[in-house]
Amino acid sequence: MQDIAKINSGVQDYYSENFAQCYGCGRLNEFGHQIKTNWDGDETVTFFASKKFQTAVPGVVYGGLLASIIDCHGTGSASLALARANGIVLDEFNAPRCVTASLKVDYKKPTPIDIPLEIRGVIKEVKGRKVIVEARLIANGEICVTGEIIAVQVFDDFGK
Amino acid sequence: MQDIAKINSGVQDYYSENFAQCYGCGRLNEFGHQIKTNWDGDETVTFFASKKFQTAVPGVVYGGLLASIIDCHGTGSASLALARANGIVLDEFNAPRCVTASLKVDYKKPTPIDIPLEIRGVIKEVKGRKVIVEARLIANGEICVTGEIIAVQVFDDFGK
């Protein structure tokens, strides 16, 4: 896991330009979080560090940000799952791009700020364009948030 | 409704100092969204304008931000509901403060960027410390996102 933590690339680096603008995970969004999602065996993983002002109450990370990171980790995981299911070897810029149809987040305990966060995903289902991902967010070895994302693959006409 | 849109205050202005730091809705968080939630009859309403870089793909608002705004609108609505249920007249700084236990968001269609967003809430249940809020996010007269928030009142020891 230490090796993965050091890798500063992820499936998001293989999105086409139009799909790489996302505030959560787009490599081309200079203002965004630029999260990176990778396989770790059969699970997916993203690491994230929040900023001090991204707070709910002092000392606790803002829940909306946690939902956002779980959301983007979910679509990144879905992209990895679709690539694996369809035998796609990631290259510039062929990663399947998914958006979220539905996001469910349960806050189990306050997430401490100023601590590296680990978000892990399990692929529950891949069916055509649809992928279901279960996620858990871990701080200090404890699960603070769980989530389920239903992601759907989109193509260049999305949002147009 | 036009009158409410002009009001630059909301229940969040009545949170105590420790509870007014939230990145989504804290009046004391200079980096945050500072959303303002008010009653509009039996519904609650928040208005929000996203920034150009808060995008999913070009022209579409980032889903994580929409989840965040629905989240904070939900806790703000829950605060209003608890105040009403308990006969609390809002004053400095006596608003009940809720956090989110569970958030469910369904993205119905892409939310256009550069358009004022209206988030409306319906109080489904108030039971002790728990409030359930249904929300819908409207752009250009169309519902783009729906949500359900289970919010729970917290006190000064939250996160400590």
Give the C-alpha separation, A24 to B15, whole Å: 29
The tokens 């990370």 sit on which residue? A61
Provide the β-strand partners of residue A63.
Answer: none
Torsion of CA B35, B40, B43, B46, to 10 degrees: -20
Q: How far is CA A83 from the centre of its chain?
A: 15
Give the C-alpha separation, A18 to A25, whole Å: 13
pLDDT, tens only, A69-107 = 999 999 999 999 999 999 999 999 999 999 999 999 999
Closest by Cα among A76, A142, A131, A58 to A107:
A142
Does the pLDDT value for residue A7 go beyond 90? no
B54 occurs within a structural domain: yes
A160 occurs within a structural domain: no
Cross-sheet strand order for the sheet of B97-107: A37-40, A43-48, A117-127, A130-139, A142-154, A97-107, B97-107, B142-154, B130-139, B117-127, B43-48, B37-40
DSSP one-letter code for B96: -
Give the C-alpha separation, A20 to A36, whole Å: 12
Please name the member of B54, B100, B105 whose beta carbon is closest to the beta carbon of A23.
Answer: B54
B160 occurs within a structural domain: no
What is the pTM for the complete model shown? 0.95
The span from the first CA to the last CA of chain A, in angstroms, equals: 39
B8 Cβ neighbours under 8 A, 6+ residues apart: B36
The Cα of A119 is separated from the nearest Cα of chain B by a number of Å equal to 15
Cβ–Cβ gap B104/A99 under 8 Å: no
pLDDT of the residue at B158 = 87
Domain CATH code at residue A127: 3.10.129.10
Q: Which domain holds residue A26?
A: 2-154
A159 occurs within a structural domain: no
B128 occurs within a structural domain: yes
Q: Residues of A with CB below 8 A from B72's CB?
A: 64
Closest by Cα among A11, A37, A35 to A23:
A35
* Total domains present in chain A: 1
Sequential pLDDT tens for chain B (160 residues): 334 444 579 999 999 999 999 999 999 999 999 999 999 999 999 999 999 999 999 999 999 999 999 999 999 999 999 999 999 999 999 999 999 999 999 999 999 998 999 999 999 999 999 999 999 999 999 999 999 999 999 998 887 7
What ipTM describes this predicted complex?
0.94
DSSP one-letter code for A9: -
A68 occurs within a structural domain: yes
Please name the member of B55, B67, B100 whose beta carbon is closest to the beta carbon of A22.
Answer: B55
